[in-house]
Chain A
Amino acid sequence: MRDLTMAYGTFVLMRDMSFTINHGDVFIVMGGSGSGKSTLLRHLIGLNEPARGDIFYQEQNFTRADPAQRQQILRRIGVTFQSGALWSAMTLAENIGLLLEEYTELSPAEIREVASLKLALVGLKGFEDYYPSQISGGMQKRAGLARAMALDPRILFFDEPSAGLDPISSRLLDELILDLRDSLGTTIVVVTHELASIFAIGTSSIFLDAESRTITASGPPKDLLAHSRDPKVRRFLTRGEKEKS
C-alpha cells in the first residue's frame, strides 16, 4: 500500500492541508493561478520545508527523516520540472546516465543502452548526443520525463506538463502517463490546470483555493464536476461556462 499523507500548514501560503495519495492513482493538484500548486509540489519533493506538519511516504516520515533515509526516499521518486530542467552542460544521454551512474553498478556501455531506451520511450530515439539547448521546448520536456524515469521511480511528479505544448502533444503526453501507470504501476502526481488532461487521466484530485489558502475540494475530477457545491470549483472545471438552467 502506498500512501502519501500530508498534514501541514504554511502560514503564509497554505494552511492545514491533509490528503492521501494512493498507489496507482493519477493524482491531480489543481487550482487557479497563484493558489500555491507549485509550492505544494516543492514541499512534496523535499525542496521546501513545511512550517508545520509532516509528509509520509509509505509510513516513513519524509519531513523528519535523516539525510540517508531522505536519499532513499528521493531515489524512488522522479520529478519532471516545468521546462525540463535538464542539465545544460550535459547531453541527453549524460543527463539520464548521471542518475544511473550514481545509483547503479552498470557499466558505461550498459548505461548508454538504458539511457537510449528511456529516450526511445518518450519518442526521442536518436537524440542521445544532443545538448538541451539544441532541441525544442517540447522535446526538452519529454527528455526531462525520460530522466525522471531513469531509475523506474514508484512515484512520478509532473509540474505543469502541458504548459507550452500543443493539444496533440499534450494528448500524447497524457497517454504516455497512463501507459506508465498501467505498465510500471507508477503513482502519478500532476500539478496542472489543463482541463482536458484532468478529466482524461485524473483518478483523484484536490483543488487549492488562493483566497481561503487551503484545499476546498477533493476527490475524482468527474465527481467534483457532478457534485461539487463550491462555485469556484465548478467554475474552474467548466471553464466558466454559464450553467444551462
Chain B
Amino acid sequence: MNQVTFDRVDNDILLIRFAGSWRLTGGLGSSSALDRELQASPPVARVAFDTQGLGDWDSSLLTFLTRVSDVSRQRGVSVDPDGLPGGIRRLLDLAEAVPERAGARKDLSKASLLERTGAGVISGAGSALEMLAFLGNMTVTFVRLFGMKARYRASDLFLLIQQCGAQALPIVTLISFLVGVILAFVGAIQLKQFGAQIYVANLVGVAMMREMGAMMTAILMAGRTGAAFAAQLGTMKVTQEIDAFTTAGFSPLEFLVLPRTVALILMMPLLCLYSDFVGIVGGAAIGVGMLDLSWTTYVQQTMQAVRLTDTVGGVFKSAVYGVLIALAGCLRGLQSGNSSSAVGDAATSAVVTGIVAIIVACGIFAVIFYVLGL
C-alpha cells in the first residue's frame, strides 16, 4: 500500500514522505492533498522528499513525482531531489531531458462542421482530378498498346488471364446457377397462376443474357479481382516497388495496370457467356424439377425468346464492366497509403468504386439500348 504524508519544515519547505510499497497495482496516489498543501499558507518555497520508509517502487512513484515536479514548476516552487534514491533521480532526469518540441503536440480539437465540409469538398475535388488524370494516362497507355510500343511482361499477362479467367470459373458457376434458379423460382410462382409457366424459360433466358449474366459476374469479379489488384498494387507501393519501376524508367501504368486491364477485357466476355449458359441451366432445373416441363421444351422456348442482340449486348457490357473493375482496382491500389490498414482500405475502396461504376454504366447502357431500339 502506498503512503504519502506531507509535513512542513522550516515554514517554507514542504517535506513529502513516501512509505510503503508503491506499485502500479496499488494505484497512482492522489494529487488533491498535494494541491492543498501547496496552496496552504505560508507559501511553499521548496519541496523536499523523505524516502526512508519506502519499500519497493515502480512507475507509480515516478508518475506521482512527475506530477509533483510539474505542479511545483507551475507555481515557481523549486524541487530538491536529494532525498530520492539514485535510481529514481536518474529516471526523473531522463524524463525531463528532452523538452517538448514546440508545435509537436497534436491538435485534437474537432474542426467545426463548416470546416469539415469545406475540407471534404476540397479533398473530393482533388480525388476527382486524380481519377481524371489516371483515366487520361491510361488512355494514352492503351494507344501505345495498339501501337505495339507498350512495355510489359507477357508472362504477367498470361498469369493474370489464368487468375481472372480459369480460376474464377467455380465461383461464377455457383453464383450464376443460383441466380438462374432464383429467377425461375420467383417467376414460376407468379406465372403459374396464369398457367403460363412455360414463359419461365423466356424470363430466365432474356434476363440472364441481357443483364444478369454480365452484372452478377461483374459484381463478383469486382469483389474478387478488383480487391486483389488493389491489394497487390497497394503493397507494391508500400515496399517502394512502384518507385523502383519509375526510377528504372518503366511506367507503372504500362507494366502493371495495362496487363490487368487487358486480362479482364479478354476474360469478362467469356465468363459472361458461361454465366448466361449456367444461369439458363439453373432455370431449367426449376422448370423441369418444379414445373414439370421437359428439357427440350424449356430449351426450345429459351431459344425462341432470346435474340442475338440480347446476347451480344450482354457480352459487350461485360467487357466494359471488366475495364471499369480493372481501372478501379488499380487506381485505388496506386493511391494506397503507407500502412497495412491503408492497403485494406484501398481494397475496400476498389470494390465499392468498381461496383458503383458498374451500376452507373448499367444505367447508361439501359438508356442507350432503349434509345437505339435494341
Interface positions of A (Cβ within 8 A of B): 42, 45-47, 71, 74-75, 77, 79, 81-83, 85-89, 98-99, 102-103, 147
Contacts and interface: CB of A to CB of B under 8 A. Distances in A.
A74 B239 contact: no
Interface string B222-264: 0000000000000010011101111111100000000000000
Interface in B148-162: 151, 153, 156
Interface of B: 151, 153, 156, 236, 239-241, 243-250
A102 B244 contact: no
Contacts of A75: 249
A45 B151 contact: no
A87 B241 contact: yes
Max chain A C-beta neighbours (<10 A), residue from B151, B246, B247, B250 = B247
Given A75-B249, A102-B151, A102-B250, A47 B243 contact: yes
A88 B246 contact: no
A85 B246 contact: no
B249 A47 contact: no
A45 B247 contact: yes
A85 B243 contact: yes
Contacts of A71: 249
Max chain A C-beta neighbours (<10 A), residue from B241, B245, B246 = B241
Contacts of A102: 151, 248-250
Nearest to B242: A85
Contacts of B240: 81-83, 85
B29 to A, nearest CB: 35
A43 to B, nearest CB: 12
B247 A88 contact: no
A85 B246 CA distance: 12
A74 B248 CA distance: 7
A98 B250 CA distance: 10
A67 B175 CA distance: 47
Contacts of A82: 240
Contacts of B151: 102
B103 to A, nearest CB: 10
B94 to A, nearest CB: 14
Given A83-B240, A99-B248, 7 more contacts: A42-B243, A71-B249, A75-B249, A85-B239, A87-B245, A98-B153, A147-B244
A103 B241 CA distance: 19
A230 B249 CA distance: 40
B155 to A, nearest CB: 9
Contact of A46 (B241, B245, B247, B250): B247
B101 to A, nearest CB: 9
A98 B151 CA distance: 11
A79 B244 contact: yes
A4 to B, nearest CB: 15
B243 to A, nearest CB: 6
